[in-house]
Amino acid sequence: MPTEPTFTSHEATSSGTSLGGTPRLPRVYVPRRQLWERLDQATHSAVTLLVAPGGAGKSLGVGGWLRFSSEPQTRDAIWVAGDESLTPARLEALLSTGTGHRDVAGSPRLVIVDDAHLLPSSSVRMLDRLLNAAPDTMRVLLLSRWDLPLTRLVPELLGDFTTLRGDLLRLDDTECARLIEEHARTTDPRVIRIVSQRAQGWCAAVVLASRSISGDPDPYAAASGALVYGKGRFTLGARVSAGYAFPYGDPVTFVAGVTPIVRYTIDW
């Protein structure tokens, strides 16, 4: 089981993780215990696929697991971005590195591929081939926005393949409250209730809405109009200050009076 983290720790990465891509943990970090417990178990298999929409907290959730878990597979793990540069040859070389550095249980070193949905199709086919022909030669954790075309039935029956879904990343009311208080700079229970209910546990929606409320002279009114949820879509309509940084693309902005009004939509 993971050790209890410090909620107000300074930004840090797992010092034992290779290739330097591990995300830094924010000053106020909400542990994802359900995810960590499942990762402790699932990553003993050859391939683990974590599927959740953008902004659900996959990278930070796994980053925290690496930082705080005592499981042997988190030691000296390899973290790499999944993109067109991760060719079959390069990915297979990483897996070979993992095979040459086995943990105390004799399992290959864990290779974590962030944004695995961006992998070239040829690299996914290579993973599928190894999963079926030589699962003992690799241990991979894939973070993806959608399911990947990997063979499932037989590998799942043999315990070589595990899929984890986004429900493990859904924030509960207490976790939402911590993030809202930090980013909205308010402890008003009405604000916390509105944002929590409308965000429905989705991390990106909680943070974006809370940041848009921060500094508003009327946080309750700002929260009341900050977040609208529709099927597969969140729309953030908020008053924001100049220079506000949106991490998921450029919003559409129009002006009402002297204050920018932003309508920012995230599809997932």
Cβ proximity of 111 and 77 under 8 Å: yes
Compute the average pLDDT of residues 166-170: 92
Q: Which two tokens stand for residue 2?
A: 């993971």
Question: Hey, what are 149's tokens?
Answer: 């075309």
Domains of the chain: total: 2
Instruction: For residues 138 and 45, state if they share a domain.
Output: yes
* 201 and 165 within one domain: no
Q: Indicate the pLDDT class of residue 251, thresholds 50, 70 and 90.
A: very low
Residues 240 and 129 in one domain: no
Question: Which residues are within 8 A (CB) of 176 and not within 5 positions of it... i.e. 6 or more apart?
Answer: 192, 195, 196, 199, 201, 206
Instruction: Output the pLDDT for position 130.
Output: 95
Q: Do 116 and 132 sit in the same domain of this protein?
A: yes
- Could you tell me if 64 and 31 are in contact, meaning their C-beta atoms sit under 8 angstroms apart? yes
pLDDT at 257: 33
Q: Per the structure block, which two tokens stand in for 25? A: 């943990």
Cα separation values, 210 from 15, 17, 77, 228, 234, Å? 31, 31, 33, 13, 14
- Based on the domain organization, do 76 and 144 belong to the same domain? yes
Same domain, yes or no: 37 and 159: yes
pTM of the predicted structure, to 2 decimals: 0.78
Residue 93 lies in domain: 33-169
Q: Does residue 1 belong to any structural domain of this protein?
A: no
Q: Are residues 83 and 157 in the same domain?
A: yes
Determine the average pLDDT of the residues in 245-253.
Answer: 40
What confidence tier does 209 reach under pLDDT thresholds 50, 70, 90?
confident
Contact (CB, 8 A) for 26 and 63 = no
Q: Decide which of 134, 169, 204 is a domain's last residue.
A: 169
pLDDT surpassing 90 at residue 75:
no
- Are 103 and 109 in contact by the 8 Å Cβ rule? The answer is yes
Residue 119 DSSP class: S
The reply to whether 21 falls in a domain is no
Mean pLDDT is lowest, of 69-78, 150-159, 216-225, 246-255, for 246-255
Average pLDDT for the chain: 78
What CATH number has the domain bearing residue 97?
Answer: 3.40.50.300
Please state the φ and ψ torsions of residue 25, each to the nearest 5 degrees: -85, 135
Question: Are 151 and 231 in the same domain?
Answer: no
Q: For the residues of 221-239, what is the DSSP string, one character each?
A: HHHHTTEEEETTEEEEEEE
Q: Are residues 38 and 118 in the same domain?
A: yes
Q: What is the pLDDT of residue 100?
A: 54
Query: Coil, strand or helix: which one is 101?
Result: coil
Highest mean pLDDT out of 42-51, 66-75, 189-198: 42-51
Please, which residues have CB within 8 angstroms of residue 228's CB and are 6 or more apart in sequence?
198, 234, 235, 236, 237
Q: Which of 9-23, 133-147, 211-225, 243-257 shows the lowest per-residue confidence on average (mean pLDDT)?
A: 243-257
Q: Are residues 257 and 222 in the same domain?
A: yes
**CA angle at 30 for the pair 28 and 35, rounded to the nearest 5°:** 150
Take residue 73 and report the two structure tokens written for it.
């597979």
Give me the pLDDT at residue 26, please: 86
As beta bridge partners, residue 266 has 234
